[in-house]
Structure 1
């Protein structure tokens, strides 16, 4: 069924419901075409005693892999092992879900060596970002 294009709207910060709808559509299409299981977003969060978010990781489990979209630790909590703990949880979760590998990306000025210490390797890189930055696409086989 074709619909007349009514409007194209730019949303700088789309709501979580919009993002969920997009993921749901991709997931349903993959299920119909290839029998793929649904895409399952996830997050592991760490809060302090006052319930303030101090660290977290989020991504999605899909098509036999785990994709990590964001890993963040508050500046005041870095070097406490929180990032490593969160990544360990992700790996355990990936194994529980029978994922074959974990993927993520990081810029050259971010956390490349951190991920490499955790067993990730550079699968490929992309150049041309602002200030000559490089984006590294990393993978860890399970």
Structure 2
């Protein structure tokens, strides 16, 4: 005989105790199967002479991989090597943490091409995400 269950749908704009519990339970199951995530967040910032933020990278390390969640360079600093320098610092940080690779994603083909010049290789793509574009995932092993 099938058990009766109740499905509750929640639209959340903030994390609730229930969503935190779901996250914790999944995290425990994944750790049991694959080992501890050993998650660590990081940020690498670039500032101009006046102290203003001109670029940066943030992300996290887990399971011996670094995920670059965001790379941003101020418009006036683009094309001058700052993005490559920031990515180099992110790779250095990943190596120092014992990571075996770095991964990143983008919605723009020209940005994916930039990452490829840094040694990243495409590993997947989701079409029409966001609508009319693609989400391109790339990775780079660290030797």
Q: Distance in 2 between matches of 1:67 and 1:90?
A: 9
Q: Distance in 1 between matches of 2:92 and 2:58?
A: 14
Q: 1:65 to 1:26 in 2, by over 3 A?
A: farther
Q: Report what 1:141 is aligned to.
A: 141
Q: Report what 1:59 is aligned to.
A: 59
Q: Distance in 2 between matches of 1:128 and 1:97?
A: 35
Q: Distance in 2 between matches of 1:56 and 1:32?
A: 34
- Larger mean CA deviation between 43-52 and 113-122 belongs to 43-52
Q: Report what 1:124 is aligned to.
A: 124
Contact 1:58/1:71 (8 A) holds in 2: yes
CA apart distance, 1:69: 0.3
CA apart distance, 1:94: 1.1
Q: 1:26 to 1:137 in 2, by over 3 A?
A: farther
Q: 1:10 to 1:46 in 2, by over 3 A?
A: same
CA apart distance, 1:34: 4.5
Contact 2:66/2:102 (8 A) holds in 1: yes
CA apart distance, 1:132: 2.2
- Write out the 4+ residue segments of structure 1 that deviate beyond 6 Å after TM superposition: none
**Gaps (5+ residues) in structure 1?**
1-6, 16-20
CA apart distance, 1:93: 1.0
Q: TM-score, normalised by structure 2?
A: 0.76
Q: Report what 2:41 is aligned to.
A: 41
**Gaps (5+ residues) in structure 2?**
1-8
Contact 2:107/2:130 (8 A) holds in 1: no
Q: Report what 1:10 is aligned to.
A: 12
Q: Distance in 1 between matches of 2:75 and 2:26?
A: 35
Q: Distance in 2 between matches of 1:26 and 1:87?
A: 33
The number of equivalent residue pairs is 130
> Which entry has the higher C-alpha Rg, 1 or 2?
2
Q: SS where residue 86 of structure 2 aligns?
A: helix
